[in-house]
Amino acid sequence: MEQTKIILDENEMPKQWYNVLSDFSSPIEPPLDPRTWEPIGPEALEPIFPKSLIKQEMSSERFIDIPDEILEIYRLWRPSPLYRAHRLEKLLKTPAKIYYKNEGVSPAGSHKTNTSIAQAYYNMKEGTERITTETGAGQWGSALSLACNYFDLECKVYMVRSSYYQKPYRKSMMTIWGGNVVPSPSEDTEFGRQTLKEQPETPGSLGIAISEAVEDAIEHDSTKYSLGSVLNHVMLHQTVIGAECKKQLEKVDTYPDIVIGCCGGGSNLAGVSLEFIKDRLEGKRNPRVIAVEPSACPSLTEGEYRYDFGDTAEMTPLLKMYTLDHKYVPPAIHAGGLRYHGASPIISKLCAEGLIEAVSYDQYPVFDAAVQFARTEGIVPAPESSHAIRCAIDEALKCKQTGEEKTILFNLSGHGHFDMSSYDKYFNKELV
Ligand SMILES: *Cc1c(COP(=O)(O)O)cnc(C)c1O
């Protein structure tokens, strides 16, 4: 049988991040000032981000060296394994080859540590003492709490209220790593207090939590804000995923025909796919790239491509992206990490230009796929990642119809060990 688990040595780990902006034929639309709608310069972002990250956000350098201090921490779980899903293929009776990259092996359980470690490091270097952030399902809050812990930074997490009560163990995990977690909207910010007064029963949203975290960072000294997806520097840090995948596939003489990732803000999709989009932009190869969204929050498939705010209170700069509108509060689906009204400007532009396709699925077919995967490959996937699994299975089933032996690569962005109540609801037919 062909190889199942393809691993790399530590010394084969990528030493650089790839900046796709450098390969765009036309520059990406700049962020705009939230009051004047004029393009902003780097200094406008300095109250909330360290200079080094702002530089990366606007960089046109093609490759950026990963500092040794970051590599040293990445080494605790990277390079992550790539698997051939032999048992899933057999179940589906497909001639397709299915590979998946397991980002669930990081201590926090998802790909988000690839950027949280980098962001905490650059903040520490510039003297930040405290970082604020928002978290939806809790994965980003965990990843940042872990990272702050490594660099002796305080971490304040505004956790979307519905998840705070649905996923108490995510909160425990953040507390173990020293994070300070409050449900959002909270009494700790002006915007939180105002929202609680107007809508005491609100389940909260990422947009509201971002407004609180940004306000907190602006109001407090030595405090910066950190975002776990959407921004260019986040997409950049995630490119280690695709760079590893490419080396791993080379070891088995393969190149993907289709690359798949679920898409909330777009970072794990960017992570797995930009390395392959690079080949497309260079005219070397032509893989299809597919973004998979929940039909309850379909920014790429049904949103508009225009400037919009990143948060509910209209405090963040405007970004050109596919959006459902910043006032939209998505329903409380179980893939909480995919409940964001917009999508990364990089992913949005690639979609608008036809380099990335987008599809959406309802919760039931997604959980059907998750369970098929768990029962064949063994790993219990995060509901977010299960969107990518659904799409990979459907593409493999198409190959069964046509007899094509395509190579399919998808990103298993995280494990689902904190999502047992969602699985229970699925088995009890209580999902909406
Ligand atoms: C946060 C998260 C996502 C969604 O965020 P992206 O930025 O779109 O990757 C997907 N999967 C998992 C496991 C997550 O934690």
- How much is the average pLDDT of 306-324? 94
Q: Which band of pLDDT confidence, cut at 50, 70 and 90, is reported for residue 336?
A: confident
User: In this model, does residue 32 exceed pLDDT 90?
Assistant: yes
Q: Mean per-residue pLDDT for 372-381? A: 98
> Which residue has a Cα nearest atom 15 of ligand 1?
139
For residue 332, pLDDT beyond 80? no
Determine which residue's CA is closest to atom 5 belonging to ligand 1.
Answer: 264
* 3-state DSSP assignment of residue 53: helix
pLDDT at 337: 84
pTM for this structure? 0.97
Task: Using DSSP, state whether 83 is helix, strand or coil.
Answer: strand
Task: Give the Å distance between the CA of 418 and the centre of ligand 1.
Answer: 14
Residue 224, CA distances (Å) to 138, 146, 227 in order: 19, 17, 10
Decide if pLDDT at 207 tops 90: no
pLDDT at res. 1: 66
Residue 16 has pLDDT above 70, yes or no: yes
Q: What is the bridge-based pairing of β-strands 179-184 and 357-361?
A: unpaired
Q: What is the average per-residue pLDDT within 159-179?
A: 94
Residues 5-10, mean pLDDT to the nearest whole number: 97
Give the residue from 213, 226, 227 showing the smallest Cα distance to 342.
227
Helix locations, 94-205, DSSP H: 113-125, 139-150, 161-166, 168-176, 190-198
- E strand or H helix that includes residue 347: helix 345-352
**What residue ranges define each of the domains in the chain, with the CATH number in brackets?**
5-13+69-109+238-427 (3.40.50.1100), 16-34+111-232 (3.40.50.1100)
Ligand 1 neighbourhood includes 299 CB (under 6 angstroms): no
Is residue 208 classed as helix, strand or coil in its secondary structure?
Answer: helix
| Rounded mean pLDDT, 23-39 | 95
Which ligand 1 atom sits closest to the C-alpha of 270? 9
What pLDDT sits at residue 226?
98
CA 134 / ligand 1 centre spacing (Å): 14
CA 37 – CA 164 distance, rounded (Å)? 34
Spatial distance between the Cα atoms of 155 and 181, rounded to a whole number of angstroms: 8
pLDDT at 432: 83
Residue range 94-122, pLDDT digits in tens: 999 999 999 999 999 999 999 999 999 99
Per-residue pLDDT tens over the stretch 118-148: 999 999 999 999 999 999 889 999 999 999 9
Using a 10 angstrom Cβ sphere, with 0-12 exposed, 13-18 middle and 19 or more buried, the burial of residue 9 is exposed
Distance CA 205, CA 184 (A): 8
Q: What is the mean pLDDT of the chain?
A: 96
Mean pLDDT, range 183-198, rounded to an integer: 97
Centre of ligand 1 from the C-alpha of residue 262, in Å: 7
CB atoms within 10 A of CB 430: 10
Distance from Cα 298 to the centre of ligand 1, integer Å: 15
Quick check: CB of 413 below 6 Å from ligand 1?
yes
* pLDDT band at residue 384 under the 50/70/90 scheme: very high
Quick check: 28 pLDDT over 90? yes
211 lines ligand 1 (CB under 6 A): no
